[in-house]
Structure 1
Amino acid sequence: MDIERRKKKRRKLFWIMTTCTTGLVATYFYKYIYKEPCMTSILTGEQWVTDVLSGHYIRCINAFRMESSVFKQLCEELQAKYGLRESKKMAVIEKVGIFVYTLALGISNRDVAERFQRSGETISRAFHEVLEAISGRTRAYMGLARDIIKPQDASFPGIPPQIEYDPRYMPYFKDAIGCIDGTHINACIPETEQLRYRGRKGNPTFNVMATCDFDMCFTFISLGWEGSAHDTRVFLHALNTQELNFPKPPEGKYYLVDKGYPDRKGYLVPYPKTRYHKDEFTNMPPTNEREAFNRSHSSLRSCIERSFGVLKKRWKILGQMPQFSVETQLDVIMAAFALHNYIRKNSTEDLIFRMVDENPDYMPCEELPDVIHARNNETSRETSKEMEKVRDDIALL
């Protein structure tokens, strides 16, 4: 009886071991050897990009926020100048398509993977390759952003044509070289660290300071500041940090700034305690020289507010940032500014820019002028005698 019992136990143990082994082998086979295809669409990512580029022009605008000719030129330059390379299974045109499509629609990795019929890992790798080529974090290449977010000529010779040929501003603002302002861009920050990133509206943001010329091209951006940072602090840091290469105004030239910035030489602020924004003059025209100056100052300085509006209207990712690291989020913001400039400089028929050019009062997106900055900050109350004289001379012309 004992022998029979031991035999039954051995047979049962053998059966259990066989069953377990078979299960493990089957699991390994289906997980690592046999994989059922997931992305089975007839139209692959590269085929879809090619189809969009060769189709009706509005399809390319909807998908990539730029004309097909500009998109193709961008691909060529990223490959020729900034180290972007095709891989064995993905061409440069698809990599750039993945990146720009993500910025334009602000959608998740999973949605982009479905559109391009690629795995999430492949989408992420292609996205970061293009991001690296634009932001220039590699040692071998500077990056598109560093080459395109800068003044055409740092000496700022001549008078900007937007002023020279507009009787509203000429000769009053003939020495203006651009505008400075800040904007808040939504950030994706862990809850434990959100407090210092909370901006004026209570949600976590980055406070980004930028300068732009009167052609709506950004010439400098300061990144990395939390939403709680004061505009004056960001401004003074940019001026006093040599490594940032802030394009300071030459002697006799100046930027237009609002009341949130210090009144100092080279930075022209409006008259305090005086009507300023254009909307305030809708029902009642200026009644004195100071109000007339403030209205013209506001009208000309709205160039940067409209530039921010175009930027945010074009790149939806700036409204809802994915769960990237903070460093990657800042690179994405830099890339959005760089592509804004790239489109402005290389496209003559861009729909958004054309709408803004043809309608001087059009303000895209939600980027509207803030209420006059009545900040009780001592730095903001400093005055510059030189700029007071410039302001008075313009007002009395």
Structure 2
Amino acid sequence: MKPIAFHQLCHILIEGEHVRSTIHMSITEQALIFLHIIGHNVRFRVIGIRFHRSTETIHKYFKVILRGVLKLYRALIRLPSKDTPPEIRDSRSLYPYFKDCVGAIDGTHVRASVPPEIQGGFCGRKDGTTQNVLAPISFDLKFTYVLAGWEGSAHDSRALNDAFDRPGGFLIPESKYYLGDAGYDVVMSKGKEKVGTKHFRWLLPMHTTMLTLLAEEVAKGNKPSNTFKAGSFAIVAKEISA
């Protein structure tokens, strides 16, 4: 983390009255200890030796900063708007085909330190024990929801269903959808009902058809620059979907 980002984080925590300095430790040292632990997976005892603090003190202020960071949820997590994202609206190649898409969704594996008796569930396709973190984002690269805690062996769709079922959980604006890989259904929202569609499989004949049609569009002069005209993509989409 660059110094300017570090000091900005400290300023945000202080300004929001989420964390405060004490006579025993400044906010700068508290944040530095917290970031060092989560960034390098260092044990409290090791950090205590480095900062000349007891393990109990390190544990105490780690929890203080952790609570403060969690309180930033409403400032950092932006709920998706019902309006068409400008990244879609202003793109001739994407609009109107993705006008109802509000973002993309995927899972990421984050290392987790768990008790030996439950490590089996956290051993997935990644090395070591991990947790599967669900992270939908908008097209301006802002998180719209985050769900952590699922075992590394859990399928992405299980984490998604859990996010839907939680009180105050993951919500999708009415008639909108997120793009996801094969680990998810393409999920749309219709009022309170969530409907999953079938997976779309790209086949070799579709690829051949697309290249043939785009070659014809080039011959017609419908590729004036580095991209095709919007009508060309519409022709391809209609032919493949037929």
Instruction: Sort the TM-score into its range (normalised by shorter chain).
Output: 0.7 to 0.9
Equivalence for 1:228: 153
SS at match of 1:200: coil
Within-5 A mapping of 1:239-258: 239-241=164-166, 243-251=167-175, 253-258=176-181
Say whether residues 1:90 and 2:25 are aligned partners.
yes
Letter of the structure 1 residue corresponding to residue 180 of structure 2: V
Root-mean-square deviation over aligned CA pairs? 3.1
- Which of 75, 82, 87 matches 1:162? 87
Equivalence for 2:123: 198
Matches of 1:161 and 1:257 in 2, distance apart? 20
The structural deviation recorded for 1:212 is: 0.7
The structural deviation recorded for 1:113 is: 3.3
Percent identity of paired positions between Structure 1 and Structure 2:
34
Within-5 A mapping of 1:33-182: 65-68=1-4, 70-135=5-70, 143-151=71-79, 154=80, 156-182=81-107
Letter of the structure 2 residue corresponding to residue 396 of structure 1: K
The structural deviation recorded for 1:193 is: 1.6
The structural deviation recorded for 1:81 is: 2.0
Equivalence for 2:219: none
Equivalence for 1:271: 200
Matches of 1:169 and 1:270 in 2, distance apart? 20
- 1:194-230 Cα deviation digits (max 9, x unpaired): 2222212463221221211112221111222222222
State the TM-score, normalizing by the size of structure 2: 0.72
Matches of 1:184 and 1:66 in 2, distance apart? 24
Give yes or no for contact 2:103–2:179 (8 Å, CA) kept in 1.
Answer: yes
- 1:128-187 Cα deviation digits (max 9, x unpaired): 11011122xxxxxxx112442232xx4x14332333344443333222101111122222
Equivalence for 1:352: none
Within-5 A mapping of 1:227-376: 227-241=152-166, 243-251=167-175, 253-266=176-189, 271-274=200-203, 286-289=207-210
SS at match of 1:208: strand
Give yes or no for contact 1:181–1:210 (8 Å, CA) kept in 2.
Answer: yes
Give yes or no for contact 1:257–1:268 (8 Å, CA) kept in 2.
Answer: no
SS at match of 1:250: coil
The structural deviation recorded for 1:269 is: 7.3
State the TM-score, normalizing by the size of structure 1: 0.47
SS at match of 2:174: coil
- 1:6-54 Cα deviation digits (max 9, x unpaired): xxxxxxxxxxxxxxxxxxxxxxxxxxxxxxxxxxxxxxxxxxxxxxxxx
Letter of the structure 1 residue corresponding to residue 183 of structure 2: G
Structure 1: stretches of 5+ with no match in the other structure: 1-64, 136-142, 276-284, 293-391
SS at match of 1:244: coil
Matches of 2:97 and 2:110 in 1, distance apart? 33
SS at match of 2:144: strand
SS at match of 2:145: strand
Q: Relative to structure 1, is the Cα distance of residues 66 and 215 closer, same or farther in structure 2, using a 3 angstrom cutoff? A: farther
SS at match of 1:287: helix
Structure 2: stretches of 5+ with no match in the other structure: 190-195, 214-233
Matches of 1:75 and 1:150 in 2, distance apart? 21
- Which of 204, 209, 221 matches 2:134? 209
Letter of the structure 1 residue corresponding to residue 148 of structure 2: L
Task: Number of aligned residue pairs: give it.
Answer: 211
Higher strand share: 2
Matches of 1:131 and 1:234 in 2, distance apart? 23
Matches of 2:207 and 2:202 in 1, distance apart? 14
Q: Relative to structure 1, is the Cα distance of residues 104 and 289 closer, same or farther in structure 2, using a 3 angstrom cutoff? A: same
Stretches (4+) displaced over 4 A: 266-270
SS at match of 1:225: strand
- 1:358-391 Cα deviation digits (max 9, x unpaired): xxxxxxxxxxxxxxxxxxxxxxxxxxxxxxxxxx
The structural deviation recorded for 1:72 is: 2.5
- 1:334-380 Cα deviation digits (max 9, x unpaired): xxxxxxxxxxxxxxxxxxxxxxxxxxxxxxxxxxxxxxxxxxxxxxx
